[in-house]
A and B are shown apart, each in its own frame.
Chain A
Amino acid sequence: MTSSVIPVVSKRFLDFAGLPIGSHQDLILADRLSLLHWREVTLEVQVHSHSLVATPTNGITFYVFGTSWTEEEPGTLFINDFTGGVAIQPGVPSPAYLLAPLRTLEETLSEGHHVDTVRVTVGADRLESGVMNATVSMQFSVKE
């Protein structure tokens, strides 16, 4: 098998209506997804709809972090700084298709390449009042 699709999140409505102005919130969407066997990985985000067209200073960003566990310290989560991500920014249409490639070996000056498991999170930053939501679905496109 040279390519596959790993589901991350089926169509889901993310609503940050209760987030105060000037604050940030993170939600874990998926955890411990194994990407060990895949050399090229891209997070595909289908934005079915979003409200940020009307509130452009608010932001919703999807992150991928590399994670690791060890049996010697099972209660500790080891998470790297950044492996990949993409944001719903001003100008992103609704609907939209966003791609977040994970670090490739061609990025020789960068860290954050995936070893085995990853965590997918969504982060919301509210800078102005108003509706703040998005309906998304996500999956990893993976290739050997």
Chain B
Amino acid sequence: MSGVLLELLPKRVFTFSTIAVGTSEAVTVAEHIDVSEYTDCILGVRSHAADFSGGTIVVQLFWDGATEDDPTLTFRSSAPPISFDVSNSNLIPRYRTKGVYARGRYAALVVMGSRTSSNPLTVTLSAEMALRRPPDNGFDVARLFDVGA
């Protein structure tokens, strides 16, 4: 079987009600998620409860370029291959999923809140990720091209 299910984020409350109006704050909830052995990456985000009256909240998956050469620096893809604006609907509970081809070795999950008014801005989220890869059929490329392996 080629699939695994990771629980990335247990049920957690994110409160952005204390950030200044007109500003944003990003919270990295998981990083260095090892996707190196997989080709398919499908993210599922559950919204348990929310108050979006104070702004917007997005959940984003970035490719993570962490390297042992400089472990203190954060290397992230410039654009998230998956981005959910969980605040674009007041329908709660809510479940959103999206799949992309896994690029690179690692991924990182970020929750970002942007406050546009003095009203509260909170959300209760949890997240999971399915990783899949094609089956290993023991295909021997060397035998195919008779390179004497």
Contacts and interface: CB of A to CB of B under 8 A. Distances in A.
Binding site secondary structure of chain A: loop
25 contacts: A36-B5, A36-B130, A37-B1, A39-B2, A66-B44, A67-B95, A68-B46, A70-B126, A73-B11, A76-B93, A78-B94, A78-B95, A108-B100, A111-B98, A113-B42, A113-B97, A114-B42, A114-B97, A115-B43, A115-B44, A115-B128, A115-B129, A116-B44, A116-B128, A116-B130
A121 to B, nearest CB: 15
Contacts of B2: 37, 39, 144
Interface in B1-15: 1-5, 10-11
B101 interface: yes
B115 interface: no
A111 B97 contact: yes
B97 A112 contact: yes
Contact of B42 (A2, A70, A115): A115
A105 B137 contact: no
B148 interface: no
Chain A interface extent, by class: 20 to 34
Contacts of B105: none
B48 interface: yes
A9 interface: no
B95 A68 contact: yes
Given A111-B96, A111-B97, 5 more contacts: A39-B2, A66-B97, A68-B128, A105-B40, A112-B97
B11 A70 contact: yes
